[in-house]
Amino acid sequence: MPSSVNRRDVLAAIGAAIVAATGVRAGEGWPLRSVRYVNGFPAGGATDTLSRVICQKMSELSGQSFVVENKAGAGGVLGADAIAKAPPDGYTVGLGGIAANVLAIGSYARLPYRPREDFTFICGMWHLPNILTAKKDLFSADIKELLAAFKREPGKYTYASAGFGTTLHLSGEMMNAMAGVQVRHVPYKGGAPALNDLLGGNVDLLFDNLPGSLPSVRAGVIKPVAVTSKTRLPELPDVPAMAELLPGYEMSSWACLVGPANMPADLAAEINALTVKALADPWLQKRYADLGATVWPTTPQQLATYRDSEEARLLPIMRAAGIKPEGG
C-alpha cells in the first residue's frame, strides 16, 4: 500500500462499500438491529447518565436497542477513536463534543484520529454549563466582591478543577484573563476529589460540572458563586452568570452525536431525525433539566460549523494558559 494512502481512509472506503452492498440507507429500514453507542467517559457520571437517557428514548422511538459502551480514557480520546475506526454503516455512533473533538487538539501532540476529518457530525445533544463554588467559610460568595479581592491580592486564592486542560480548567483561565486576576489552578484527577478538598477547606474555589456540585450547593455545604452559561439557570435563579460581570464569558461542556467519517448523507440525516425527535420528548427534556443540561438539537452542518468555531475560540485560550500538547 502506498505510504500516501491513509489506512483510516481505506477502512472507511471498505465500510462505505459494505453499506452500499447491504443497502443500509435512510428510508430503507435503519436501524435493523441494535446500535452501539460509544461513550468515552466512565459509567456513573453526568455524561454517562445523559447518554443513557437519550439512548433509552432513541431505543423506544426506533424499536431497536441503543447500547451504551463505556470506553473511558484520555479525556474521551479512546472512545472517540473507537467511533472513528468503525464502519460508517450507522451501527456504531457515540459521544463527540468539546473534549474529544476540540480540547484534545490542544492537549495531545499526537491523536489516533483527526478530530474533524475522521467523524461524521450528526446532531448536537446537550450543553452542560459549569459552576463556580466557594468553600463555606470564604469571606464572600458575591462574584463582584471576589473579583475585587483577587485583584487586590494576586496569587493568594486557589481554584480546583477535575483536571488539566478540561473545560473546568479553561473556565478558571478565562476568568483570570477576562477579569485581569491571578487565581491559582489546582488540578485533580476527577471532580469528586476536587469537591472533597473544597469541602475540607483545602482550596478556596471549585469549577465543576453543574451535576457534580449541585447536591452540595442545595445542601448548603458550599457556596454557589457563578455559572458559566451565557445567562442564569432556572435551577439556580439567584446565582449570577459570569457573563453579567465579564461580557462574552461562556464555557459549556457540549456534547454531540458523531459517527465515523464517510457516512452516507442520507443515513446521517436519518440518524439526525431520530436524535432530534428524542430531544423533543418532554420526559427527556425534564431529565436533562434535572441534571442542569439543556437540549441542543442541530443539523449536521450546524454542528460541524459550531465545532470549527469552538476550535478557533478555545485553542488560543489553552495556549495562553500554558496548556501544551503532550504525548508526542
Helix or strand or coil: residue 12?
A: helix
Note the pLDDT tens digit of each residue in 241-270: 999 999 999 999 999 999 999 999 999 999
Here the CATH number for the domain that contains residue 303 is 3.40.190.150
Q: Is 1 inside any structural domain?
A: no
As a whole-number percent, the residues of the chain with pLDDT over 70 amount to 91
Nearest residue to 109 (alpha-carbon basis) of 82, 74, 79: 74
Whether residue 21 is found in the same domain as residue 68: yes
Q: What's the whole-number average pLDDT of the chain?
A: 90
Q: Is 325 inside any structural domain?
A: no
Note the pLDDT tens digit of each residue in 74-115: 889 999 999 999 999 999 999 999 999 999 999 898 999 999
Q: Tell me the CA distances in angstroms from 310 to 119, 120, 163, 298, 316, one per residue in order.
A: 16, 17, 20, 15, 10
For residue 11, the model assigns a pLDDT of: 45
Whether residue 151 is found in the same domain as residue 181: yes
Q: Is 2 inside any structural domain?
A: no
For residue 268, the model assigns a pLDDT of: 98
Note the pLDDT tens digit of each residue in 171-229: 999 999 999 999 999 999 888 899 999 999 999 999 999 988 999 999 999 999 999 99
Helix or strand or coil: residue 220?
A: coil
Q: Is 220 inside any structural domain?
A: yes
pLDDT of 21 strictly over 50: no
Name residues whose C-beta falls within 8 Å of residue 70's C-beta, 6 or more positions apart in sequence.
39, 41, 42, 43, 48, 79
pLDDT classification of 10: cutoffs 50, 70, 90 = very low
Here the CATH number for the domain that contains residue 233 is 3.40.190.10
Whether residue 120 is found in the same domain as residue 265: yes
Query: How many domains does the structure of the chain reveal?
Result: 2
Length of the chain: 328
DSSP of 45-57, one letter per residue? SHHHHHHHHHHHH
Residue ranges with strand state E in 158-250: 158-161, 184-187, 205-209, 222-227
pLDDT of 163 strictly over 80: yes
Q: Is 327 inside any structural domain?
A: no
Helix or strand or coil: residue 230?
A: coil
Structural domain of 307: 7-127+253-320
Q: How many CB atoms lie within 10 A of CB 281?
A: 17
For residue 28, the model assigns a pLDDT of: 58
Measure the CA–CA gap between 156 and 149, rounded to whole angstroms: 9
Whether residue 108 is found in the same domain as residue 206: no
Name residues whose C-beta falls within 8 Å of residue 15's C-beta, 6 or more positions apart in sequence.
86, 87, 88, 89, 260, 262
* Burial of 66 (C-beta count, 10 Å sphere; 0-12/13-18/19+): buried
